[in-house]
Structure 1
Amino acid sequence: IMNEPEPGSHADQYTFSSDYLYPFYKRVIQAITGVRDGLPDCPKHAPTGSNCSYPSLGIHDQQHLFFFEPTAFRNLLDYSPQYSVPFTSYENIVYAPHVYTHVFTIDSILHINESNYPPSFDFAYESALNESIGLQSAILVTEFGCGTDADERLLIPTVESQDKAMMSATIWPWKNNCFQEGCETSWSLYDSGTLNGTYATQNGPERPNRVRILSRVHPRGVIGQLKQYFHNTTTSSFTMTANCFNKTLLLSSNETIVYIPRRLNSSVVNVTGEAKLLRIIQNPDESRLVIINPTCNGQYHLFVGNNTNQILELYQQTLKTKNSNVELKNHQETIESMKKAYELFQLLHIAAVKIGETFASTSSKFANKVNMSIWNFTDSHP
C-alpha cells in the first residue's frame, strides 16, 4: 500500500502507527474491497471517521493480497514500535517489513563499530514474525540487502536467519545502473553494464558470490507442518524436517516440493523417515524439483549434499540437534536493549525535527527578506 511510511514530526511511533498509519491502511482496504469491518458507511463529506467505514469505491476486489509495511523507522530498530493488533477483517493481507541489520540499523547510522544492538541477525526476523502473528497476517520481508563488499559480513547472516525463521524475502538490488566510482559495491546480483557512448548497456554477468549466497535450496510446498529448514551457504548443503500426522492432508495433495537451483544440479538427494522420494524433475533451466510423498505417519527429513558422506553428516547433525538441550535466550536483556534503542531513536528524532524546524524558519525569513528586497527594488525602479 505504501513504501516505508514515515511519521514526519510525530515523535511517538506507537501512536503514529495506531492513530494514523494502520487506520489509513484500513480505509484503503475498505475502499477497494468493500469490506465494512462491521461498521456503517462514513458520510461522503467526512469519509475518514473512526466509527464508520470508508465509502466503497465500487471495485469490490477481494481476490488480491494487500501488502502493508510498518513505519520506516523499523529499519533503524529491527522491530516496529507499534501495537501489533488486528486492524482489518479482510483476510488477504501480508505484513511486509524491511530488514537491514547493521546496514541501516541505528548502530550503522551512528557509525558504532561494536554494538550490542541489534542483539543478532535473527532478532529482526523473530520480531517481524511476532508482529505478523499479532496482526493476524501472512508475512513477507519485501526488502533486504547490502553492498557486495559486505556479502560475507552482512548478506550471508541475514539469509541464514531467514531460513531459521522459515521466512520468505526479496532482495533489494540497489544501484544496479551505476557507472561511477564505487559501483563495484552496488547491491545487484549482476555486474553493472558498461558505458557505450552516452548510453549504458544492460546488466553485466552474474556475480558468482551473489549467486552462491542467493541461489539456494528451499521448500516450495510442504505436506504437514514444516519444522525447520536450513541451507548452508558455505557447504551448499540443505536439511529440512516436517511433521505429518494427519492423513486427511493427503486428500488434497500428496506431494512435498523442494527446489534445487541449477548450480547444484549434481547434488545428492536423500529422504528419510515417514516419506519416500517419488521423483526428481529436471527443469529446462537445469534446476530441479524434488517430489516427496509423505505417509503422514510421523516425521520426515530431506537432505541435499555434495556426496553421500555429507548426507550422512547432515543426518547425524539432525539427530544431535533433536536430542540437544537448547539454551534459552535472555529475553529480558533483549527487551532492555530494545527500550534503550527506542529512547535513543526518539532523542535523535526530536533533535532532527527541531533542526528541520529551525532550518525552515530561517529559510522562510531569508526568503521573505529576498522578496522584500525585490519588491523594494521594483517599486523604486518602475
Structure 2
Amino acid sequence: MTAWNRGFAQAGRTSRLLLLIPVALIVLITVADIVAPSDIVLGPLLVIAPAITAWGEGPLVTGSVGAAAMAAQAFIGWRSGLLLSRNVLVQLFALAALSALIVILSVVRDRHSRELARVRSVAEAAQRVLLWPLPSRIGTLRLSCVYLAAEEEAEIGGDLYAAARSPQGTRVVIGDVRGKGLPAIGEAAFLLGAFREAVHQNAGLPALAGSLERSLSRYLDDFEPTDEAGERFVTALLLEIPDDDPVVRMVSCGHLAPLLLRSGRAVSAPDLAPAPPLGVGLTDPGEVTVAVLPFAVDDTLLLFTDGVVEARDRDGVFYPLADRVAQWVGQLPEALLRRVQRDLLDHAGGRFGDDAALIAIRRTGEQAPPARVR
C-alpha cells in the first residue's frame, strides 16, 4: 500500500470513529429522556447530533444523522404515548427545520471548500510556472530556497528568484517587486522570463542588468499604463559564480547585500555600490559596479529579500537575520533554510507584512551531473 493510500485509509478510519460520537449522543439522549421523570424533556437536545456531524462530514451524512435524530424524537414521543400531542409535534417540526438548516449550511461549506481547493490548485500550478523550483545541484553549487507569501492563502507574490547555467558559470537572480497583488505577480513573472532569456545572451553582469532594465521598462510602459507606473520598480541582486574561479561576482540593483557564511561567522558582503532598481531608468551598463567577493569551497551565500529582515515580533523588533544565522554557519543549504524558516515564523508569529524569500548557495567543488532531458 502506498503512502497516499495509507493516508486515505487512515482518514477514513478517523471519519468513522468521529461519526460514532453523534450516534452515541442520539442513543444517550434517547435513553436519558425515557428514564428521566416526565417533567424533564431532553428530546430537543437531539439537534446537537447533526450539528456535530456537519463539522466533519458532508451533507448526505449530516442529513442521515438528522433523520436518525428525528426518528429518536418520534420514538420518545411514541414511548410516552404523546406522539401526536402538540408539544411533540412542535419538537419534531423544530428538529426537522434545524436539521435542514444544518444540511444547507453543510452544502454551502462544501461548495466553498471545493472552490478553495480549486484556487489552491491553480495557485500551486502558477507557482510552478512562475517560480521554478531551484535545482538542488547546479554547476559546482548546492542550492536551496524558501518562499513565504504575505497574502493569506497565497503561495506566490512579488518576490522572485531563478538560477541558470551560462558560459560564464552559474547565474542567480533574487528580486523584490514594489507593491503587492496581481500587478506585482505580473511584473515578477515577466522579469523571470526576461532573465531566463537574457542570461545566455549577455557576457557580463552589467550587460545583463541593462537588458533586464530595458525589458522591464518596456513592460511597464506597454502593460502597466497607470498613474503608478512611474513608481513601480524591482530591486534585484544578480550573481555570477564561475565553476573554476573561487569568487562570486555581484551586481545590486537597489537590493540588499547577501550574507557570507564562512569559518563560523556570518558577515554581510561588502558595500556593493548599488545601481538604481530595475524599471527606474538604468541606461548605461558601463556605470554598473561589479563587486567581486572570494567564494571558496564550503562557503555559503545567503540571499534574501527585505521581507525577511523587516519581519517584526510582537514588540516591533526586526528579525536579526545575521545574528541568528551565525548559529548555523556549518549547515548545508537545506538544513540552514529549515532552521531559518522555523525561527523566522516563530519570530513573526506566522504573519508577515511583506513576501519573504531566501536562497542558500554553497560551493561544493564538485561538478553536478548534467540534468536529464525530459
- Which category of TM-score, normalised to the shorter sequence, fits these structures? under 0.3
* Greater relative CO, 1 or 2 (CA 8 Å, sep 6+): 2
- After TM superposition, the score normalised by the length of structure 1 is 0.24
Of Structure 1 and Structure 2, the greater helix share is in 2
